[in-house]
Amino acid sequence: MASIEFLILLLVASSLIAYLLTKVNSFLGSVFTIFASMFVFVSLAAYGFNATLVTDVLYLPGFTFGYTYLGAFFAIIVAFVYAMVSFFHPYFVDHYKYKNAYNMLFLLSLAGVLGAFFTDNFLQLFFFFELIVWSTMFLIPLGKSKSAAVTYFGYSAAGSFAMLFGIFVMRAQVGSFDMALGLSSLTGTNAIIVYVSFLIAAFAKLGVFPLHLWLPIAHGNAPHPFSPVLSGALVKLGAFVAVLALIRITPASGLITAINLPFAHYVVAILGAMSIVFGTLMAIREDDAKKLLAYSSMSHGGYIIVAFSLLDSVAYAGGFYHILAHALASAGAFMAIAAVARQTGTTKMSELGGIIHKMPITYIVYLVAIISMAGIPPMGGFISKWLIFQAVIDKGLIFIAVAVFFGSIGSFLYVFRPLAALFLGQELPQFKKTVKEAPILMLIPMVIITLLNIYTGVLPDKLFGFINKIIGELGFAPIVTSTFELHGYNGILNPALIAGIFGFGVVIAFIIFISLKKSKQVSLMETYTAANFIHTEELLHYSLDFYAPLERLYAKYINVMTDFFAALANKVKELGRLGKYLFMSKYVEVAIFWIVAITAFLLWGEIL
Amino acid sequence: MKSTKFTPARKLSKEEIDRKWWEIGDYFRRNSLWMLMYCTGCCAIELPPAMTSAYDMERLGMGPMATPRQADILLISGYLSVKSLRRVIYTYEQMSEPKYVVGLGSCPINGGIYHDSHAVINQLDQYIPVDTYVSGCMPNTESVMNGFVDLMEQIKNKTAKGWIKYKENNEWYKSNQMAALGEVIIHDEFHE
Amino acid sequence: MIVNILIGFGIAILGFVLQTSVAGVNRKIIGRLQKRYGPKWYQEFLDIFKLLSKRSISHGWIFDFGVIMALGGIIATAMFMPITNTFVAFAGYDNFFIFVYLLAVGMLGMAMSASGSGNPLASIGVMRALTTMLAYEVPFMIVVLTVIKLSGTSSMIGIGEFQQALGTNWFLIALPLGGIVAVISLMGMLGKKPFETYIAPAEIASGPMVEYGGKQLGMLFIMHEITVFIEVSLFVHIFLGGASNIFIFLIKYFVVYTVVNLISNVNGRFKIDQVVKFYYKWPLIMAVTQAIIAIYFGWVI
């Protein structure tokens, strides 16, 4: 019998033990981290699926935990990503300056995650949120740059304090911090205030337009084994808050009858759609592979927001499945890039090429991950996108449909770029001798994630059973599924059939291929060059400015949001200078002005 | 009296089966020849009337293709300087098998009007195997079309074996190329 | 289930034979238009079988694997396509989105294999092909969104039967702006001039196909023919009312392909940024206007 409190205390204790062990021997400390996180994940999955987790609190004073299907869903996904990424630690921890703290902060943030998803009291939710933000804030600067942590903390703090404000407004009206009852009984302007402040928190954590600027900075500069956790797991906290805000609160706003959606939810959907489009456009022009995947996380965050703002159970099922599929795909892609970065030392695509010939298994992991990210059958991303399409078409939302289709097709472009520029193409001479395949302990989690990507695309039935329970808990009708089929509003999907026929087609093509004459194997440098004789590989590798003709069309507008936030920061500094002039000045006349003003104010009622 | 014992049909030997497949392949190859658009010398001016509506190469099944890997015919249209010959040999070796070479004009036969130049080769057949020649300086477009039909006849009669000759007599061709050119593939970027 | 798979495979082969013959006949028509005799009507078959009989080169396992994945994906897509209202392999599962995204698997396989050949011209060609796909898909999907909302189903047979019902016009006539956008998007999908930028034989030496010869090129040609079959059949089912027997389907298919071919033969070729700018101006405006008119005001002819 596992209890949530036991798991959290175990994690806090093992973070201290990991700190001490890493001080002694970093390999031992990392192996201990692997064991701790795998133990937590296995017990969560085994007891969490069947709803048999114990929620009693024996040792921690004042904390209460509650089990909800929603919280269990998120916690299992996040714990799984943490457990898989911990396999990378033995190979990476030695590179960092404060390596003892790395394992400790990793396990501490996992403790915070468990507490955040299983609590039933809003103030505790805020406490665990801040625990996560503080422990990860000290992990990020171990990578490339220190100012990335400042940006990350700034946006997270803005979100957390907005949520705290919303919590207190809710308490003022309802009278308690309880999660299950509190939100549904809000009325009037309080509902709108709490709705807006929770959404600010959700947008800041999820990285959705307009609060997205920290995503490329934090993900691009974080240490290589931590980026999969940031993108695959921690942004799901924002999705959790978004679900609470969008589904549980009913703000009083007018209903747009043409599409049967309240105005407040439509505005949120528009913001999500803009996030999809801008994330796609910014990802297309990015040269660093990790920043590209960070912008892709922004785009997928937009999909999640659009899915949850539609007030429709098919859309909710699509949104939940998208959270699962995106977590797996993003973790897989980031882990493949981390493996490449360990061997070659860089993640910039213009400096790499032809890695597939030395690291074929990493290539296959990355390929399956991006097939799922782009929403192509037979992987999991296609099912979630199909459900979101069904909901959007059924409601007749045209402009959101433009953005959703644009994001879906545009994602082919930016996920293909690392494939062609980094893995394929000419083999650069500086990597021919030194690059080898990733070690076996790093290959195991990548292969597991690949197999799960395929499983979520072919047999989604059990997962939809669990998701239907979540939708029922939120108060909507469950979607219709059977063993192999999914029913949308205007069509039926059979993912196993698609995967089976795809396999059949590949077998036919393979039979045609091997029954014909065998090809002669030649090297990559013997290629068509209009009969020019070539001697350098770098000149024949197309990787820099891959989509240059498309980028030129919008190159003038890429700095709009950064300029806006920089101008906002300048205005805040000017306000501070004004305050300093008025209240902390060294000039005599300002002091005399204040003396006269305060005296006049005190004598107002008596003399005048 | 004819015997009434049942005699099964004679089983075909391996060479006969290969030969039958090869005949089927030859039917497809001669009716769908693709030429590489590689115009070396002055005889190339005869190709536009052959390709377009005047003499219409497409009704024979022929058409132009962009790269040597996709093409069947290498058309040497005119004289070949020493520099060009290096690139022609490189291109010929990049083509997929089976491949054919057609020499247009008098220059591949014996040097033509440039026969006494120091930078032009005289007999193309010493360096790469040629299947069909079309003589003239320059030949009429009807002669060019006739040359293509001749090549198709040669493929039908299995006498267009230039590529097999190249594979079997490779040392002879290579020694000729070395004697004339010095090196076929230039060894760095600063030489021609 | 086995019977369904065999019917599906039969549909794929039928599509290949149909499209190759129609393409050959079109070459003859274009030849006659240019005052010359064209090739034989079965010339495309000869081209493909000649390619399959040549011996070519290969640049590694990804080069071959990509081609196999491309052809396999396209055969799988063709197996779902219905021909008439009753001649279909997997009834009820012929959703519009399955076709659009399974085509993407085929294109991904070909793109992987082309980039794996090591030639920069192949990567440039793939970049242009993906950018063209971004350009033509969005207006087309908006028009199909309108069609799905009006007919209430996204199954090909369902949309076809909706148009064959008494009193409803074909969607090409009922949604005129949408029909024009669909024809323009179809030309982009088939890769016909003026949207032939991704092959561009004179500029990037036939783009992705630069290093292929022999059996890989033959398999890619087969893949291209089946892709054209799928796309023209999509257009026939969604905008021309499907077919209740196979002769009507063949006639509609032939007319659509010939009209598109004739239009494309008098055009030059766009540059790649002109393609994107073209599709995101008038076709997108017309598609959105048509969607607003049809869904919210209900003005359908």
For the residues C56-77, what does the mean pLDDT come to?
A: 92
pTM for this one? Answer: 0.92
> Can you tell me the mean pLDDT for C85-105?
87
Task: Please write the tens of the pLDDT for every residue from A285-337.
Answer: 888 999 999 999 999 999 999 999 988 889 999 999 999 999 999 999 999 99
Cis omega before residue A460 (within 30°)? no
Backbone torsions φ then ψ of A538, nearest 5 degrees: -65, -30
For chain C, domain boundaries: 2-297
Residue A445 pLDDT greater than 90, yes or no:
yes
Please indicate if any CB of chain C lies within 8 Å of the CB of B39. no
Q: Do B185 and A526 touch (CB under 8 A)?
A: no
Q: B6 touching C, CB under 8 A? A: no
For residue A384, the model assigns a pLDDT of 93
CB contact under 8 A, A533 and B186: yes
C155 secondary structure, DSSP code: B
8-state DSSP, A246: I
% of chain A exceeding 70 in pLDDT: 100
The dihedrals phi and psi of B76, each to the nearest 5 degrees, come to -95, 100
Q: How far is CA A325 from CA A172, B54, C200, in A?
A: 39, 60, 38
Among chain A, residues having any CB pair with chain B shorter than 8 Å are 526, 528, 531-533, 535-536
Residue to mutate among A528, A534, A537, with most B CBs inside 10 A, is A528
Average of pLDDT values for A178-200?
A: 82
> Which pair of structure tokens corresponds to residue A54?
């114990």
Amino acid identity of residue A299, one-letter, is: S
Strand pairing partners for A481? Answer: A486
Query: Is the Cβ–Cβ distance between A182 and A124 less than 8 Å?
Result: no
Q: What is the mean pLDDT of residues A509-537?
A: 88
Please determine, for residue A1, whether its predicted confidence score (pLDDT) is greater than 70. Answer: no
Cβ pairs A/B, distance under 8 A: 16
Answer whether A77's CB lies under 8 Å from A236's CB.
Answer: yes
Indicate if the alpha-carbon torsion angle A422, A424, A428, A432 is positive or negative: positive
Task: For residue C94, give how far its alpha carbon lies from the nearest alpha carbon of chain A (Å).
Answer: 9
Chain A nearest-CA distance from B37, in A, is: 11
Beta-carbon separation of A374 and C104 below 8 A = yes
Average pLDDT, chain B: 87
Count CB atoms within 10 A of the CB of residue A443. Answer: 18
Asked if the model's pLDDT at residue A259 lies above 80, the reply is no
Contact C73 A505 (CB under 8 A): yes
Tokens of A59: 């040792």
> Strands B63-65, B34-36: parallel, antiparallel or unpaired by DSSP?
parallel
Chain A: residue whose CA lies nearest to C70: A506
Which of C112, C78, C118, C117 lies closest to C98 in space, CA to CA?
C78
Neighbours of B24 (CB within 10 A): 12
Which tokens sit at C216? 């890989």
Q: How far apart are CA C136 and CA C107, in angstroms?
A: 15
Q: Which of A446-450, A486-490, B171-175, C11-15 has the lowest mean pLDDT?
A: A486-490
Distance CA A539, CA A409 (A): 30
pLDDT at C218 over 90: yes
A181 pLDDT more than 80: no
Q: At residue A58, does pLDDT exceed 80?
A: no
Task: Give the tens place of pLDDT for each residue, B3-56.
Answer: 677 767 777 777 887 788 788 888 898 899 999 877 888 888 888 899 888 898
pLDDT digits (tens, 9 = 90+) for C157-167: 889 888 888 77
Q: Give the ranges where A86-187 is alpha helix by DSSP (H).
A: 89-92, 99-118, 122-137, 147-174, 179-182
Bridge partners (DSSP) of residue B133 are B103
Contact A152, A135 (CB under 8 A): no
Q: Are B41 and B77 in contact (CB under 8 A)?
A: yes
Look at domain B33-178 and name its CATH class.
Answer: alpha beta
In chain B, pLDDT over 70 holds for what percent of residues?
A: 97
Contact of C291 with C142, CB cutoff 8 Å:
yes
The minimal CB distance from C118 to the residues A258, A425, A553 is found for A425
Q: For the segment A133-144, what is each residue's pLDDT rounded down to a tens digit? A: 998 888 888 877
Domain residue ranges of chain B, discontinuous segments joined by +:
33-178
Instruction: Flag if A505 and C291 touch (Cβ within 8 Å).
Output: no
Query: Do the bridges between strand A492-493 and strand B34-36 make them parallel or antiparallel, or are there none, so unpaired?
Result: unpaired
**Is there a contact between C211 and B67 if contact means CB atoms under 8 Å apart?**
yes
CB contact under 8 A, C215 and A412: no
- Beta-ladder partners of A178: A121
Mean pLDDT of B52-73: 89
Q: Supply the DSSP symbol for C2.
A: H
Of A501, A507, A519, the CB nearest to C57: A519
B192 touches chain A (CB under 8 A): no
Whether B87 and A531 lie within 8 Å, measured CB to CB: yes
Interface test with A, best of B90, B181, B191 (most A CBs within 10 A): B90
C180, with CB counted inside 10 A (0-12, 13-18, 19+), is: middle
| Average pLDDT, integer, range A117-141 | 88
How much is the mean pLDDT over chain A? 88
Residue B188 touches chain C, beta carbons under 8 Å: no
State the Cα–Cα distance between residues A153 and B145, nearest whole angstrom. Answer: 77
pLDDT digits (tens, 9 = 90+) for B129-163: 999 999 998 899 999 999 999 999 999 888 888 89
**Chain A residues within an 8 Å CB radius of C153:** 490-491
| Beta-sheet strand order (sheet of B63-65) | B63-65, B34-36, B73-77, B100-104, B132-134
**Contact present, C75 and C109 (Cβ < 8 Å):** no
**Chain C residues within an 8 Å CB radius of B72:** 50, 54
Predicted local distance difference test score (pLDDT) of residue A295: 93
Closest CA relative to residue A299, chosen from A380, A226, A231, A398:
A231
Q: Peptide bond before A378: cis, by omega within 30 degrees of 0? A: yes
* pLDDT surpassing 80 at residue B189: no
Q: pLDDT at position A608, please?
A: 62
Q: Which residues of B touch C213 (CB under 8 A)?
A: 69-70, 95-96
Of C70, C124, C296, the CB nearest to A258: C296
> Is the CB of B102 inside 8 Å of chain C's CB atoms?
no
Nearest one of B52, B51, B49, B61 to C39, comparing CA atoms: B61
Q: Report the C-alpha gap between C160 and C164 in whole angstroms.
A: 6
Contact (CB, 8 A) for C175 and C287 = no
CA torsion B103-B104-B106-B109 (nearest 10°) is: 10
Set of chain C residues whose Cβ sits within 8 Å of the Cβ of A530: 205
